[in-house]
Amino acid sequence: MNVHDRFKDFGKQHCWQYEVRLQNLAEDLEEANLTEEAASQLRTSDFDFAYVDKSDKEQCQEIKHFIQRHEWLGKLPNRPTERFTARHRASQTLSGVVVMATPNAFLQGHPNNTLTQATRRLAGSVIETSERSQSTENMLKILG
């Protein structure tokens, strides 16, 4: 769905990302074989974090579908360079992704306009399984 079409009639008292969470919660919990109470107790140690090489087409497709389902824009950056995943250890359910990409435009004034000195574009999404979810914060801590 076009982003403009998605938001033009959205009139709820909460943000769109929270609406996505509400729409996906029951199915996400079922897929991970978790109750809401169990999900609210999850910690970083309950997940396996991994780098995904671009040659792993199956996991890259899984990441793409995950972003389309959970990320508010529902799309990936156009030039991804690195992909990272978080999987619930007990069920191996994909629970979070971070996709890094080269920027669409280089910052003006940077010496040599090099990639190493330009900010990279970042797209990511995590399944928010509880009101007090720490998943976004935990993913950012792990990635440094």
Please give the residue range of the domain that contains residue 78. Answer: 47-104+119-144
Question: What average pLDDT does this structure show over 20-48?
Answer: 91
- Prediction pTM value: 0.70
- The pLDDT of residue 21 is 85
Within a domain: 59: yes
Beta bridge partners of 126: 96
Domain tally, the chain: 1
pLDDT tens per residue across span 53-97: 999 999 999 998 888 888 766 667 778 888 999 999 999 999 988
Q: Quote the percentage of the chain above a pLDDT of 90.
A: 33
Within a domain: 132: yes
CATH code at position 78: 3.40.630.30
Within a domain: 92: yes
- Alpha helices, DSSP H, located in the chain: 3-8, 16-32, 36-40, 57-70, 135-143
Round to whole Å and give the CA distance between 69 and 1.
11
pLDDT tens per residue across span 79-89: 888 899 999 99
